[in-house]
């Protein structure tokens, strides 16, 4: 069946958008970065009703001429002041939240995204207030998960953490939270921060070595200890997966 281009063009010229429910679409962000051995997320504190004073995910309306992912990048820059042209950032779609009463003001469907920022594992990227009033601040994920949040954002944050934790079992996505070249210990620190656990260094190296590309170079040994090899990540799948230890 070949497309009927002429009939289709006539149809489109005559087409008038009509009765469909008026729904606003937003792009919200679960932003993760690793600092001082712990996983942090960028949250804003709401300055107005509803949920005044509570923590919320950064995000905003999807514009008429942009995709949800484009809106996510734009809002990430606007609400955190991050220079995305400079900073490597990984953004992927998480899920869409569409319960009719999730926003008491009006019908809002939110396309949530997962954003991973690259750090050296020690210091977090500086966040600055954007055009909107509320500035984003870093919060330790495993602590803030126990507090209430605005709207259904606590559930979204939990889903984002679960997604990242799961995906790290069978991909090298954890490397997106590090500089392009990193050491095995830096990568292990990301796993430990996200999984909130500790991993045996030797076994971790044995498992990850064949999944990474060895640059052949080594770090300048910082203070005590041998110099570490520098690796880069590719998009290989980890097989069999690196299992997250059962919680306990």
Q: Binding marks (x or -) toward DNA, 155..184, rule CB under 7 A?
A: ----------------------------xx
* Beta carbons of 233 and 213 less than 8 angstroms apart: yes
68 binds its own copies, rule: CB under 8 A: yes
Site for DNA in 27-66 (CB under 7 A): none
100 binds its own copies, rule: CB under 8 A: yes
* Beta carbons of 207 and 243 less than 8 angstroms apart: no
Cα angle 40, 117, 218; round to 5 = 105
DSSP codes joined into one string, 100-114: TTSSSSS-EEEEEEE
CB of residue 94 to its own copies, shortest distance in Å: 10
Interface size with its own copies, residues (CB under 8 A): 47
Cα-Cα-Cα-Cα dihedral sign, residues 130, 134, 140, 144: negative
CB of residue 170 to its own copies, shortest distance in Å: 8
CA 145 to chain centroid = 15
The one among 226, 235, 247, 248 contacting DNA by CB under 7 A: 226
48 binds its own copies, rule: CB under 8 A: yes
Q: Which is nearer to its own copies, 107 or 158 (CB)?
A: 107
229 binds DNA, rule: CB under 7 A: yes
* Beta carbons of 161 and 194 less than 8 angstroms apart: yes
The one among 47, 148, 221, 237 contacting DNA by CB under 7 A: 221
Of 111, 93, 109, nearest in space to 101 by CA:
109
The one among 185, 192, 196, 232 contacting DNA by CB under 7 A: 185
Site for its own copies in 229-248 (CB under 8 A): 239-241, 243
Q: What CA–CA distance (Å, rounded) separates 59 from 30? A: 9
206 binds DNA, rule: CB under 7 A: yes
φ, ψ of residue 216 in degrees (nearest 5): 90, -15
Of 173, 54, 46, nearest in space to 114 by CA:
173
Q: What CA–CA distance (Å, rounded) separates 27 from 93? A: 10
Q: What CA–CA distance (Å, rounded) separates 94 from 90? A: 12
Inter-CA distances, 25 with 38, 56, 61, Å: 32, 17, 6
The one among 7, 48, 85, 224 contacting DNA by CB under 7 A: 224
CB of residue 199 to its own copies, shortest distance in Å: 17
The one among 38, 87, 93, 192 contacting its own copies by CB under 8 A: 93
Q: Which does 4 bind (CB under 5 to 8 A by kind): DNA, its own copies, none?
A: its own copies
Q: Which does 184 bind (CB under 5 to 8 A by kind): its own copies, DNA, none?
A: DNA
Binding footprint of DNA on the chain (CB under 7 A) = 183-185, 200-203, 205-207, 209, 218, 220-221, 223-229, 240-243, 245
């Amino acid at each position: 069946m070949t497309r009927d281009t002429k009939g289709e063009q006539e149809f489109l010229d005559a087409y008038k958008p009509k009765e469909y429910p008026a729904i606003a679409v937003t792009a919200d962000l679960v932003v993760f970065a690793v600092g001082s051995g712990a996983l942090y997320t960028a949250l804003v504190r709401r300055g107005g009703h509803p949920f005044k004073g509570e923590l919320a995910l950064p995000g905003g309306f999807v514009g008429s001429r942009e995709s949800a992912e484009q809106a996510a990048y734009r809002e990430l820059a606007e609400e955190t002041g991050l220079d995305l042209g400079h900073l490597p950032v990984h953004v992927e779609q998480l899920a869409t939240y569409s319960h009719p009463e999730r926003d008491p003001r009006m019908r809002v469907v939110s396309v949530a995204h997962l954003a991973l920022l690259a750090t050296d594992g020690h210091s977090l990227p500086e966040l600055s207030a954007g055009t909107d009033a509320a500035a984003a601040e870093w919060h330790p994920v495993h602590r803030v998960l126990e507090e209430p949040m605005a709207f259904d954002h606590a559930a979204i944050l939990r889903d984002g953490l679960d997604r990242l934790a799961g995906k790290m079992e069978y991909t090298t996505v954890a490397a997106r939270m590090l500089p392009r070249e990193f050491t095995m210990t830096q990568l292990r620190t990301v796993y430990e921060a996200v999984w909130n656990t500790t991993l045996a260094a030797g076994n971790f190296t044995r498992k990850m070595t064949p999944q990474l590309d060895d640059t052949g170079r080594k770090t300048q040994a910082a203070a005590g200890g041998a110099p570490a090899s520098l690796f880069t990540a590719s998009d290989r799948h980890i097989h069999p997966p690196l299992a997250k230890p059962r919680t306990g």
